[in-house]
Structure 1
């Protein structure tokens, strides 16, 4: 997955609620769960960019994507980016998440490759 695609999803999802200050982090910042572990170095790459831009997003590190789903469910993270199979596992574990967006690639129009999930409590009323 390309770097610009990940950043585009993150900023698109955060754009829905960023001005409301309803995140679980300090000063109402939204908490983004990023997988950090063997083979993953996303936190060191993306978190400083988010901090520099005063984006209203804080990074929370999970051990794997399912850990990030658990964190969203428990309220210690507000949103993350997942693969469809992660959401299937969440369904089996009775973890309720809201899928806000799907990314479809032009060369594979019917394939779902990345989805963004958020904790329902950070959405505006009526959504």
Structure 2
């Protein structure tokens, strides 16, 4: 997965708990091939302007991550770059984690934890 973010935060979207390998790059440093070949691309909205200046083509699997929850301009911005979804950082990221696993063929999902759940309470 490619995460494009100019933020100094090591995890601007909140994906550290996810086991899917992520490649974090600032907007000036990712390559066109990386962008094209990544199964999923997450763009931090704080990097939107620099991303637009790169004139990257529309592609499926582009998700815009919104840091400022009061920003109403994000939806026209998402449409302008062809984003498939807008997520808000700090919200429940379950959908995004599932989307990341789906994009990687579920190779990184811990199925034992997902299928078995927590251990049953001991009967005392």
TM-score (norm 2): 0.37
Question: Which is higher, the Rg of structure 1 or of structure 2?
Answer: 2
